[in-house]
Amino acid sequence: MAQKTFYLSFEVVPSDEGLVDKRIVGGLAHCWIVEDDPISALNIATYAVKRSGWLIQSLTTSPMPVSLEDFRESDALKLGYVEAQKYRIGMVIMAHTLAEDLYSQAPSRQKLPREIDLSGFIQTQHSVQSQGRCLFYQTTDKCSEIIDAHSIQKNGSLSMIDRNGYVYAISKKHTDIKRNKGRLSLTQTHTNSMSVFRGLCHHHDSSLFRPIDLEKLKPTSEQVFLYAYRCILKERFAKECAVEILDQQLKGFHGTKATRELLEGCCEGNRLGLYGLQVEQACFDKSHRNGNFDDIRYVLFRSSCAPTTVFSGQIYPDWGFNGEPIQNLADWTARRALLTFSFAPMDSGWAFLFAWHKASDDVCRHFISTLQSAIRRGKAVEDLLFGLVVKGCENAAYSPDWFERRTAEEKRLMEDLMTHGADVLKMVEQDYLAAGMANFHEWRFDSVSDNLK
């Protein structure tokens, strides 16, 4: 994904938060953002300016791609551009004041407030995520033994790609994120901790999912149902934890208004996402209670080649594989259709399994039809589906032997795409699935089957 340096500017005045000297009456904020698109650049710059203690009066220069040569006549503006190349964001504010003792030709650094207590955040995160509960609808006395359940089978799937018990996965360490200036990175992770969640008791994890943990995918309707069901339970647990962590952060938050608004927006977004998963799980619960496994729909791509990636994820399809609109995710008055996708071992090879409940049938069929359309236009299904995993699935593991053969450019591309999908300030582009990821995934599908009628 080619990134550009976008320049934009705002007319600003000091906010009432006291971060800017009260004798300053206003100024012009010059911003440089290294990004993929102008809207994301605008979002990031807006947050940075507000967090620095300024109120934005107007956008004086819309985001436009620039080079260093564009600022050759101003040392201060050249400094801002160079800073962006190092930190992905540069900002120079030229302020107006009547106080002569504040006059300066040399730029001065503004010390930003430390708004998040990282050690406290990590402690809260650990506390919330370790408090397990069984999310299965049929609670019994046996639900007291909560376990670290694997959403991707350790012995059935992860063991197909691991090396000495390790795989590559997105690092959850805050030190790695800080070192990479907010970018996600892939790091070696032990299969004991990969893909686990404390959302099931031992009894239900072992009895409910026995048909997929102890047997290869055939596929039966029950097996397909259970792959999708476990994915939804895992995602619901993650959303519940996210909401609780953010709620606790907001209760003790004493930072800037800009960061509070960002946290509140993240909390509301996760709360709405949790509501959608609860609605979806209710459909699955009802079907499971009644034994109606035929309520599941699926499309399955078979491969006989050695696997390099295992995964379990879900999306609310918003755009198709050619950029077609699928459903309006901004409308929470309507039911959001959800689709799951999973790696599944088979007797001969493995499968990429799309699965959804019949309640989401219209939207998910439309989404699959856009994949068919993209293939007819000459795009490789392997490129498109691997791209979906990298861009839209945090719960994925990569073979160490395969990953370490990738070039530095390929690794950088994967991490850029993962980061883009996780950044709340970045815009989801309409054609984000259209490009796919070609040439280095080593996937090959031999056949496709479904139960669509």
DSSP-assigned states of every residue in 118-140: HHHHHHHHHHHHHS----SSS--
Q: Do residues 383 and 437 lie in contact, with contact meaning Cβ atoms separated by under 8 Å?
A: yes
DSSP 8-state code for residue 346: B
CA 397 to CA 159: how far, in whole Å?
Answer: 11
**The residue type at 332:** W
Label residue 289 exposed, middle or buried (CB < 10 Å: 0-12, 13-18, 19+).
Answer: exposed
User: What's the CA gap between 368 and 280, in Å, rounded?
Assistant: 19
Q: What number of CA atoms fall less than 13 Å from residue 44's CA on the CB side? A: 27
What pLDDT shows up at residue 106? Answer: 64
Q: In the prediction, which pLDDT does 68 show?
A: 95
Structure tokens at 425: 């300030």
Q: How far is Cα 189 from Cα 163, in angstroms, rounded to an integer?
A: 10
Taking alpha carbons only, the member of 45, 40, 44 closest to residue 10 is 45
The pLDDT of residue 87: 87
**185: enclosing H helix or E strand:** none
Q: What is the pLDDT of residue 134?
A: 95
Most distant CA pair in the chain, distance: 79
Q: How far apart are CA 260 and CA 434, in angstroms?
A: 35
Please tell me the distance from the alpha carbon of residue 176 to that of residue 182, in angstroms, as a whole number: 9
Give pLDDT, residue 109: 65
Which tokens belong to 59?
């956008």
* Cβ–Cβ < 8 Å for 288, 346: no
Q: DSSP secondary structure string, 13-69?
A: EE-TTS-S-TTEEEEEEEEEEEESSHHHHHHHHHHHHHHTTEEEEEEEEEEEE--GG
pTM: 0.91
Whole-number pLDDT of residue 261: 93
Contact call for residues 52 and 110 (beta carbons, < 8 A): yes
- Are 143 and 200 within 8 A, CB to CB? no
| Per-residue pLDDT tens over the stretch 342-367 | 999 999 999 999 999 999 999 999 99
Per-residue model confidence as pLDDT tens digits over 272-320: 999 999 999 999 999 999 999 999 999 999 999 999 999 999 999 999 9
At residue 435, the pLDDT reads 83
Of 141, 244, 241, nearest to 201 by C-alpha is 141
Helices (H) and strands (E) in the chain, counts: 12, 14
DSSP 290: T
pLDDT tens, per residue, the chain with 453 residues: 568 999 999 999 999 988 888 888 899 999 999 988 899 999 999 999 999 999 999 999 999 999 999 999 888 899 999 999 998 899 999 988 887 777 776 666 666 667 776 677 778 888 888 888 999 998 888 788 999 999 999 988 999 999 999 999 999 887 777 777 777 889 999 999 999 999 999 999 999 999 999 999 999 999 999 999 999 999 999 999 999 999 998 998 888 999 999 999 999 999 999 999 999 999 999 999 999 999 999 999 999 999 999 999 999 999 999 999 999 988 877 889 999 999 999 999 999 999 999 999 999 999 999 999 999 999 999 999 999 999 989 999 999 999 999 999 999 889 888 887 777 787 778 888 998 788 889 999 999 999 998
How many Å apart are CA 411 and CA 390, to the nearest integer?
11
User: What residue ranges in 98-242 does DSSP mark as E strands?
Assistant: 146-150, 166-170, 186-190, 196-201
Residues 6+ apart with CB under 8 A from 61: 7, 8, 9
Q: Going from the N-terminus, what domains does the chain have, and what CATH number goes with each?
A: 4-99 (3.10.510), 118-450 (no CATH)
